[in-house]
Amino acid sequence: MNQLNWHERISHLLEAYKENHSLDPHRLQFHLMPAVGLLNDPNGLIHYKGAYHVFFQWNPFGTVHGPKCWGHYTSQDLVYWQEHQPSLVPSEWYEKDGCYSGSAIEVDGDMVLFYSGNVKHEDGTRETFQCMAVSHNGFVFEKKGPVVLLPEGYTSHFRDPKVWKRDGLWYMVVGAQTFYQQGAVVLFASTDLKEWEIKGTLAGSHLNGLNDFGYMWECPDFFELGEKDVLLVSPQGLEAKESLYQNEFQSGYFVGKWKVGTTEFPHGEFQELDRGFDFYAPQTFEDKAGRRIMLGWMGITDAQESYQPTIEKGWVHALTIPRELELKNYRIIQKPVPELKELREPKSFKYQTSLKNETKTWHELEGIVSEIKIEFQQNQAETIKIEIRKNLMIIYDRSLSRLTLNRKRFADGRIESRSCFIEKLEDLHIFLDTSAIEIFVNGGQEVFTARFFAEDNEKEIIFTVDGQVDMELEKWNLHLQKRL
C-alpha cells in the first residue's frame, strides 16, 4: 500500500465513523482515542511552536495489531485536542510493515522524529531500522531513511528510539533483546543526528544486580528528574510475584545516576508505574515550563484485548490523561496536570461526613464523567469499599495496609484484582470517564488505571465502611466545553 492509499483509505473510514460514533456510549470524553481502529503507544510527545503534539501508534484498518502509522493530535493546553492526518504512514521499503514507536525533538526550528521502520518477511523473520523524518511545521514530514542499523549482539526485536540532548551531544536509547534473549536498553551518541555511535548496553535484564528480568525491553525513555536520572522501560516476560507484575507486560522505572556519555548507570530496583489493569508503553517529554509530563497507553496487548466491547463499534484503546512527574525519595510521584481543572463544571459537590459501619451513597456523587477527591481525615475503619458503577470496587484493608482495585473481566464478568501496599490511606483523586478510570492515591504515590464497561444506568458510587471513617468528598462533573 503506498502513502496515497493510506490517506485515501483513512479518509473513507473517517467518513463512515462520523455517521455512527454518536451511538457509542463508551467513547471517552476527555481521553484521547482513535476514531476507528486500534491505538497503542503514545509517540513523539513534544511541545513545539506553541502546541503540544501527541502522536500515537495507530492501525486505522482494524481493531487488531496490524500495520501501524503515526496518528496525530495537537493541543494548546493539554485539555482540548484536535486530530490531524497521520504524520508518518508506511511508504518506503524500510518501514513497509509499520512506522513503529519513537520520539520527537526540536532542532533549529524543525521537528525531527525518530521511529522504528518495521519489515516483516514471508518466512516469519523481521528487520528493524531506526529512521529519521524532518518537518518545518510539525505536520508534513520528509523521511530521511534509516540512521541506525541493527548492531551485532541483538535480535531484530530492537526498536522505539528515544532521542534527547545532554551537555551538547545527542543521545538515543533503543529497546532491545540480546542474542541470549535478555531485555536491554542500548545507548547511542551523535553530534549531527545522522551518524550514530553505539556506546553499548545502558541497562538490561542481566545487569546491575538484575537476573533474567524479561526477554525484551520495549519503549525506553531516559531523563533527568530532580537530582537523579530515570529510565522508564516496558519489560516483557516478568513473572507475576505476589501483587507485582500482574499484567501480561509491565511498565516501570529505574532511578539512578548516569555517568553522562557512558553506559554507566548504577540504579535501584524496578518499580511499577501503575498498579491497575491497563497501562503500558508510556513516554515523557519536558514542556517549556520545565515540567516532565507523561502519557501512557491505557491498554495492553493481552488475552482480554479482543473482548473489549468497543471493538463492535470499530475502535479499541485510548491514552491516559497527561500526568506530571516528580521524584520523591527515589520514587516517581504522578499528578494529573493542573490544566485539567478547566474541565470542571463551576459548581462542585462538597461534603464532610463520618461513616460508621454503614453503606451509603449520594445522588450528587453519581456521574459518568467526573472528578472526585476523597480526603480521609480519620480512618479507624477495618475496610473501606467504594463501588463504582457496578463494575469497579476500590477496597482499602487497614490491617493489611493494602489497596485493591477489583473490576469485572471483559471476557466473562468474573472479578479480577490488582493491589498494592499503602501504609496509610490519606486521599484518593479519581478521574472517571465513560469507560475509563484513573485513581491517584496519596497525592500520586501510586496510580491505578483501568478501562471498564458499565451500562448507562449504572451510575452509583457506593461507600461501605466497616468501622469508622471521617472524610471529605468533593466531586465535579467534567465537561469538554470551552467556557467563554
Q: For the chain, how far is it from start to end, CA to CA, in angstroms?
A: 45
Q: What angle do CA 106, 299, 285 make, to 5 degrees?
A: 20
Instruction: Fill in the per-residue mask, 102 to 141: x = in contact with ligand FRU (CB under 6 A), - = not in contact.
Output: --------------x-------------------------
In the complex, the smallest distance separating the C-beta of residue 116 from ligand FRU, rounded to whole angstroms, is: 5
Cβ distance to ligand FRU smaller for residue 216 or 325: 216
DSSP 279: -
Cβ distance to ligand FRU smaller for residue 281 or 439: 281
Q: Exposed (0-12), middle (13-18) or buried (19+): which is 392, by Cβ within 10 Å? A: buried
* Annotated catalytic residue 41: yes
In the complex, the smallest distance separating the C-beta of residue 58 from ligand FRU, rounded to whole angstroms, is: 9
Number of residues that bind ligand FRU (CB under 6 A): 12
In the complex, the smallest distance separating the C-beta of residue 281 from ligand FRU, rounded to whole angstroms, is: 4
Contacts of 88 (CB under 8 A, 6+ apart): 55, 69, 70, 95, 99, 113, 115, 133, 141, 143
In angstroms, the CA 36 to CA 17 distance is 7
Binding of ligand FRU by 63 (CB under 6 A): no
Helix/strand/coil for 221: strand
In the complex, the smallest distance separating the C-beta of residue 218 from ligand FRU, rounded to whole angstroms, is: 4
Binding of ligand FRU by 160 (CB under 6 A): yes
Residues 468 and 354: beta-carbon distance below 8 Å: yes
Cβ distance to ligand FRU smaller for residue 251 or 445: 251
Helix/strand/coil for 173: strand
> Exactly one of 40, 74, 334, 477 binds ligand FRU (CB under 6 A); which one?
40
Cβ distance to ligand FRU smaller for residue 151 or 467: 151
Residues 71-100 that bind ligand FRU (CB under 6 A): 100
Q: Of 41, 229, 278, 433, which is the active-site residue? A: 41
> Exactly one of 57, 177, 246, 251 binds ligand FRU (CB under 6 A); which one?
57
Cβ distance to ligand FRU smaller for residue 219 or 430: 219
Q: Exposed (0-12), middle (13-18) or buried (19+): which is 479, by Cβ within 10 Å? A: middle
In the complex, the smallest distance separating the C-beta of residue 31 from ligand FRU, rounded to whole angstroms, is: 18
> Exactly one of 27, 30, 33, 41 binds ligand FRU (CB under 6 A); which one?
41
Exposed e or buried b for every residue in 416-434, given b needs 16+ CB within 10 A?
Answer: bebbbebeebebbbbbbbb
In the complex, the smallest distance separating the C-beta of residue 342 from ligand FRU, rounded to whole angstroms, is: 30
Binding of ligand FRU by 159 (CB under 6 A): yes
One DSSP character per residue, 80-128 reads: SEEEEEEEE---SGGGTT-EEEEEEEEETTEEEEEEEEEEE-TTS-EEE
DSSP 311: G
In the complex, the smallest distance separating the C-beta of residue 249 from ligand FRU, rounded to whole angstroms, is: 8
The distance between the two most distant Cα atoms of the chain, rounded to a whole number of Å, is 67
Helix/strand/coil for 13: helix
Cβ distance to ligand FRU smaller for residue 283 or 434: 283
- Residue of 168, 166, 163, 139 lying closest to 49 (CA atoms): 139
Binding of ligand FRU by 219 (CB under 6 A): yes
* Residue linked to cell 525531527: 112
In angstroms, the CA 17 to CA 428 distance is 36
> Exactly one of 63, 101, 205, 435 binds ligand FRU (CB under 6 A); which one?
101
Helix/strand/coil for 7: helix
The grid cell for 315 is 475502535
Query: How far out from the chain centre does Cα 211 lie?
Result: 26
In the complex, the smallest distance separating the C-beta of residue 417 from ligand FRU, rounded to whole angstroms, is: 24
Residues 265-304 that bind ligand FRU (CB under 6 A): 281
Cβ distance to ligand FRU smaller for residue 29 or 301: 301
Instruction: Fill in the per-residue mask, 418 to 457: x = in contact with ligand FRU (CB under 6 A), - = not in contact.
Output: ----------------------------------------
Cβ distance to ligand FRU smaller for residue 157 or 418: 157
How many residues appear in the chain? 484
> Exactly one of 27, 31, 47, 68 binds ligand FRU (CB under 6 A); which one?
68
Residues 310 and 318: beta-carbon distance below 8 Å: no
**Catalytic residues, which ones?**
41
Residues within the interface to ligand FRU (CB under 6 A): 40-41, 57, 68, 100-101, 116, 159-160, 218-219, 281
